[in-house]
Structure 1
Amino acid sequence: MTVLSSRIDTASAEFAQARESMLAALGEIDAEHAKALAGGGGEYVERHRSRGGLTARERVELLLDEGSPFLELSPLAGWGSEYTVGASLITGVGVVSGVECVIVANDPTVRGGASNPWTLKKSQRAGEIAAQNRMPMISLVESGGADLPSQKEIFIPGGRTFRDLTRLSADGIPTIALVFGNSTAGGAYIPGMSDHVVMVRDRAKVFLGGPPLVKAATGEESDDESLGGARMHAEVSGLADHLAEDEHDALRIGRRIVARLGHRKAGPPPAAAREPLHPGEELIGVMPPDLKIPVDPREIIARVVDGSEFDEFKPSYGTGLVTGWADLHGYPVGVLANDHGVLFGAEAHKATQFIQLANRADTPLIFLHNTTGYMVGREYEQSGIIKHGSMMINAVSNSTVPHFSVLVGASYGAGHYGMCGRAYDPRFLFAWPSARSAVMGPKQLAEVLSIVARQSAARKGRPYDEEQDTLVRQMVEDRIEAESLPLFLSGRVYDDGVIDPRDTRTVLGLCLSFAHNAPVRGTDRFGVFRM
């Protein structure tokens, strides 16, 4: 393979400025992560502890194999909304008894673990990851059910959570529920639809309607234990498969259940991994604060792939898109990476062929986004840019090898689609703090609206207010800039998390390992390519 060299001058003023900007952005992200880590805050955490309960994060930590990694997903869900950052739920992938599992844990310190609209999006994304990568799913349950004031937003789509659990089971993907406290109303169906159920004695309560609702509906007097206690479900209803003495015992039983699953990875194992020749620490200064400045994506690739070795494909053709073959943590991968520029017809043709080749070779694909989209203009429309971009999007849409996307810079317009954005079902999608994603850049979008308004005034024979135009353009530009930031997009679960650039190799290595729980197979079936 060809070993990539580097032209980055870590002693330059440009590198120092980029590094300082990235560290400042990471500081903002860390401050928001801290809100998720705090759960419902000190008062509610202490109240939960006083009742003898472990926190949700303690439960996750004790469930995992000692010293093993846990890749938390969607930690910023709900950011910018009226709900707590993190959406009262922890999701991620970790190793339990040697098996990579998707873990979903209610945080009872946040409104009793009740589910709001962002909780729903976050939990359903976790279910997608379990299904796509064929990993067992473990639910650590303690939830009061739906957050009632937001019921109109979650009642209808919330049913999908239960449907997805049954589909995982039907597809042979194990589902396990460890119930630590209340699991009421719709939440009762989480253990009800799981393959394996563990309940904690004297603490777990699972019922469709609690004593007050039963009294109101039927007039019947009942208590928590006889209506839905762990012992009743273990001895009478049969809903509980295991009765745990306490929370630690429930986690122990959960680990033993996973150990007995007989889980085997279906994908090929990795070869021996080699560290890149160029330090990943330098990724902190790769992206300039001004995303209009081009960045050679080979500088990123050289700090992510094994041995910094990269066999480039078509290096002299469609140079705005770098494509080639490498290994990452021992797994063969194909890489598609933008240099910030627009995508022309040549780049689209190159990507289409490369994606087809990756599918022939059953090789996963990594997309590093930094593009403003496909080229526009009379010359390019007449030369068929729509056809060319459609070919690339067709190839991405129908490719069946695992895809992994990282937004490192700009990811605008249909370029976001062609580079396997969220709507194209990448196995995982992460963003650097430097990333921006929207229909188009803020300045361009504001300019388009200004032109349309100016033309409308001219058609009606009305004078155009230039001062008002300036104010509106600035307002639109500021709004679109705010809505293209990683915090905004991550808050809406449009990515799986905002990561430190220095962690890119580790995160992608973990995700490749997760994906190899399922078969890694390409396809030769694509839609009609409009040549």
Structure 2
Amino acid sequence: MTVLGTTLDPRDPAYLEGRGTTLQWLGDLEKALDEARAGGGEKWVTRHHARGKLMPRERIEMLLDQDSPFLELSPAAARGSEFPVGASVVTGIGVVEGVECVVIANDPTVEGGAVNPYTAEKIRRAAWISSVNRLPLINLVESAGGPAPAGSIARELSRLTADRVPTVCVVFGATSGDAAYLPALSDYTIMVRGHAKVLTIHPQPVHGAANGRSGVEVRATPVVPAAGPSGPADQLAEDERDGLRLARQCVRRFNWRKLGPYPRTVRPAEPRFGAEGLLSLAAADPAGFDPREVLARMLDDSDFDEFKPGQGSGLVAGWGELHGYPLGVLASPGGWLSQVETQKAVHFLQLANATATPLLFLLHTGPVTAEERDAADVRHDAPLVHAVAKSTVPHLVLTIGPDPGRTRVRADEPRFQFSWPRPTADPAADDDGVIDPRDTRTVLGLCLSAVHSAAVAGAEHVGVFRP
């Protein structure tokens, strides 16, 4: 057992300054989250409630098990763009009847839940997470729709069906566009009486056109459940709460089992150092940053077995546990990798895959100078690029520096990708969300639990813990 130490001093002015800077960034983030939670504004939210309808987060709260966490994904999507913050949809992972599920809920108060480019990307990402992690998918639909995005959710639903991952769709109101096909594509469909209306648009051949040639006429077909289930509905709910009850009932009958290993430690010890120190580390300069300080506040019992500590000091690698799950860590505290560091990373990746251990890529780097770019030898990259591409264990990414583009240690298609707050944020960034550094251990623990819903490649060849 190797217990990490710390050099942070809460009385140090630099510590206090870094903490204050991060709290300012978190204040800006909280404003964006408040905008997303506000939906289309007070007027539209009041009108929505007056019709006896719930907001998307209210629907999710009633759907999930009581007092269970909800890991919301990209809550501030579209921030800084011409589209409303939140992208008119709420996505995330929560527990329903003891089963971890991906939930997608349209916000009808934002332009009727219309789809924009950020909406499409956010839904695609959530559906992909459902598919790759073998998590049942629940769609809470009420959307004015929009043009079907390339690689739309229909493709991901088809993948889930092929992999025998259940999908549930609850229709709460008028639904059109691409979203109108969700009820028919889902395994279980529930519609709310008097409110659910599915409007599908499809072409019809037209003969004897004025120009003498056959043409195409677009017709809309509404499906309105009235006295009983009709159209694609399997069950008819009396109101929204009843619809959510029926959705929970569907999940209860899934007879769902995780395929991945359970946590190795049932009651893991908390880190020996408090999470408050992460606020100061979030604003630390990459030049003086030590990733071990983060790991000491994140891993179980602050226990970290470093891999090849005497070689390639520009890359920190090693083993630990997080909420009882074994975890490999690759941390790049700055700069481009040397040949020795690349060989170290490749060897570590091979060992992680041989032992079916998920990997966390911890990135903290600054801008690349012209001198560094000229001095970099890209020939060192090839073995690492190949090793990452061949890696089949789950990859998680946590970006805590201002510019991850500098690092050469890149995860390939990470299962989850989060970042700490930074001074500026690209609204189109490929991120699952910006998180409070103090929540890092909890967020990554939820992610590790989710990825183990699917089988971990190679686990069948090594001993795994089963209670």
The 1-side partners of 2:340 and 2:51 are apart by 64
Question: In the alignment, does 2:192 pair up with 1:197?
Answer: no
The 2-side partners of 1:17 and 1:57 are apart by 35
Distance 1:493 1:253, change over 3 A: farther
2:386 is aligned to: 394
Identity value in percent? 47
SS of residue in 1 equivalent to 2:30: helix
Question: In the alignment, does 2:220 pair up with 1:284?
Answer: no
The 2-side partners of 1:503 and 1:36 are apart by 20
The 2-side partners of 1:374 and 1:156 are apart by 35
Question: In the alignment, does 2:250 pair up with 1:241?
Answer: no
Shift of 1:185: 3.2
SS of residue in 2 equivalent to 1:371: coil
Query: What is the letter of the counterpart of residue 335 of structure 1?
Result: V
Check conservation: 2:282, 2:420, Cα contact below 8 A.
no
Question: In the alignment, does 2:445 pair up with 1:502?
Answer: no
Distance 1:287 1:55, change over 3 A: closer
Question: In the alignment, does 2:420 pair up with 1:428?
Answer: no
Equivalent runs, 1:247-258 vs 2, <5 Å: 247-258=240-251
Query: What is the letter of the counterpart of residue 90 of structure 1?
Result: V
Check conservation: 2:120, 2:149, Cα contact below 8 A.
no
Question: In the alignment, does 2:174 pair up with 1:182?
Answer: yes
Query: What is the letter of the counterpart of residue 418 of structure 1?
Result: V
Query: What is the letter of the counterpart of residue 343 of structure 1?
Result: L
1:318 is aligned to: 312
Query: Which of 388, 397, 405 is equivalent to 2:397?
Result: 405
Check conservation: 2:317, 2:331, Cα contact below 8 A.
yes
User: What do the CA deviations read for 1:227-261 (whole angstroms, capped 9, x no partner)?
Assistant: 421237714x3x10001111110000000100100
Query: What is the letter of the counterpart of residue 283 of structure 2?
Result: P
Report the more deviating stretch, 339-348 or 163-172: 339-348
The 1-side partners of 2:258 and 2:18 are apart by 41
SS of residue in 1 equivalent to 2:229: helix
The 2-side partners of 1:178 and 1:319 are apart by 53
Query: Which of 257, 267, 278 is equivalent to 1:264?
Result: 257
The 1-side partners of 2:274 and 2:402 are apart by 24
The 2-side partners of 1:349 and 1:230 are apart by 62
Query: What is the letter of the counterpart of residue 41 of structure 1?
Result: G
SS of residue in 1 equivalent to 2:350: helix
Shift of 1:394: 1.5
The 2-side partners of 1:131 and 1:373 are apart by 35
Question: Which of the two has higher C-alpha Rg?
Answer: 1
Equivalent runs, 1:210-225 vs 2, <5 Å: none
Check conservation: 1:177, 1:190, Cα contact below 8 A.
yes
Distance 1:218 1:402, change over 3 A: closer
Question: In the alignment, does 2:315 pair up with 1:305?
Answer: no
Distance 1:373 1:17, change over 3 A: closer
Q: Which runs of 5+ in 1 are unaligned?
A: 147-153, 211-216, 436-484, 524-531
The 1-side partners of 2:456 and 2:196 are apart by 40
1:34 is aligned to: 34
1:230 is aligned to: 225
The 2-side partners of 1:253 and 1:5 are apart by 51
Query: What is the letter of the counterpart of residue 330 of structure 1?
Result: G
User: What do the CA deviations read for 1:310-340 (whole angstroms, capped 9, x no partner)?
Assistant: 1000001110111000010000000111223
**Cα-Cα RMSD:** 2.3
Query: What is the letter of the counterpart of residue 278 of structure 1?
Result: F
User: What do the CA deviations read for 1:97-141 (whole angstroms, capped 9, x no partner)?
Assistant: 000000000001000111111100000000110011000000000
Shift of 1:493: 4.6
The 2-side partners of 1:413 and 1:501 are apart by 20
The 2-side partners of 1:231 and 1:362 are apart by 52
Check conservation: 1:337, 1:369, Cα contact below 8 A.
yes
The 2-side partners of 1:219 and 1:25 are apart by 50
Query: What is the letter of the counterpart of residue 433 of structure 1?
Result: P
2:209 is aligned to: none
1:357 is aligned to: 351
Distance 1:301 1:506, change over 3 A: same
Shift of 1:77: 1.1
The 2-side partners of 1:53 and 1:413 are apart by 44
Question: In the alignment, does 2:338 pair up with 1:344?
Answer: yes
Q: With structure 2 as the length reference, what TM-score do the two structures score?
A: 0.90
The 2-side partners of 1:379 and 1:143 are apart by 51
1:52 is aligned to: 52
The 2-side partners of 1:162 and 1:198 are apart by 18
2:108 is aligned to: 108
The 1-side partners of 2:200 and 2:49 are apart by 26
Query: What is the letter of the counterpart of residue 422 of structure 2?
Result: S
The 1-side partners of 2:237 and 2:167 are apart by 18
SS of residue in 1 equivalent to 2:65: coil
Report the more deviating stretch, 33-42 or 392-401: 392-401
SS of residue in 1 equivalent to 2:337: coil
Query: What is the letter of the counterpart of residue 501 of structure 1?
Result: P
Question: In the alignment, does 2:323 pair up with 1:329?
Answer: yes
2:465 is aligned to: none
Shift of 1:414: 5.8
Q: With structure 1 as the length reference, what TM-score do the two structures score?
A: 0.80
Shift of 1:522: 4.3
Check conservation: 1:340, 1:409, Cα contact below 8 A.
no
The 1-side partners of 2:300 and 2:402 are apart by 26
Distance 1:493 1:122, change over 3 A: farther
Check conservation: 1:337, 1:367, Cα contact below 8 A.
yes
User: What do the CA deviations read for 1:422-474 (whole angstroms, capped 9, x no partner)?
Assistant: xx211100010138xxxxxxxxxxxxxxxxxxxxxxxxxxxxxxxxxxxxxxx
Distance 1:292 1:332, change over 3 A: closer
